Amino acid sequence: MSLRVFAALPVDDSVAGRIAPLQKGVPGAAWRPQENFHVTLAFFGELEEPVISELDTELGRIRQAPFEWMFQGAGHFGKAEPDSLWLGVAANPALNGLAKACVQAARRAGVEPERRVYTPHLTLAYLRRGVDIQRVQRFEQRLNLYRSAPMRADRFHLYSSWRSKPGRPNTYQIEAEYPLTG
């Protein structure tokens, strides 16, 4: 059996509870439910269970100290037409180092992770085609100066992603947890 998997940081419930009410003001946005909030470190794609087992072993070998991080600012992906809204993560060398360590672990397990410039973020919504760009810009301006309370990253997870019915958000399940102990 294969699973679609990725490594990610969880978002503290207290911070997630303050973000969820900000998800408004853009008709045509499919807002992500609070229980799906996470910050992806590395996306590995669809993998068979023996490969996931090896990936799990390699991710478990990552040694990094816990660190503080926070959300800051907002933006969108999609150059010609916006396709998603996100909340950014304040510059953080420790978080970037953890993302790089996850990519290296995947390669040791024989997995080639997604190749893109790493932009740590929380996806707030996916946008339907033809969304009003002025509404997107107003949303971004409203959250441009947003800063969340700091969070302590003391663990990360390997998640599986299950496609839901059309129009419904994917379901994410924690498959493994890795403590950050340094």
**Does any domain span residue 72?**
yes
Is 114 part of any domain? yes
Q: Pick the catalytic residue: 32, 38, 76, 157?
A: 38
The model's pTM? 0.94
180 neighbors 64 (Cβ within 8 angstroms): yes
**2: in domain:** no
- What is the mean pLDDT of each successive set of 10 residues along the chain, which is 182 residues long? 95 97 95 96 96 98 98 93 96 98 98 91 95 95 96 98 76 97 84
Closest CA to 92 of 123, 75, 115, 70: 70
Residue where the block lists tokens 């003001």: 25
- CATH number, domain with residue 18: 3.90.1140.10
Rounded Cα distance between 73 and 95, Å, is 17
pLDDT for residue 167: 65
Residue 43 has a pLDDT of 97
Indicate if 38 belongs to the active site.
Answer: yes
What is residue 114's predicted lDDT score, i.e. its pLDDT?
86
Domain ranges, residue 91: 9-179
Residue 159 lies in a domain: yes
Catalytically annotated residue among 32, 76, 121, 157: 121
Domain assignment present for residue 3? The answer is no
pLDDT on residue 72: 98
Single-letter code of the amino acid located at 127: L
76 noted as active-site residue = no
Q: Is 168 exposed, middle or buried (0-12, 13-18, 19+ CB in 10 A)?
A: exposed
Is residue 70 a part of any domain in this protein? yes
Structurally, the chain folds into a number of domains equal to: 1
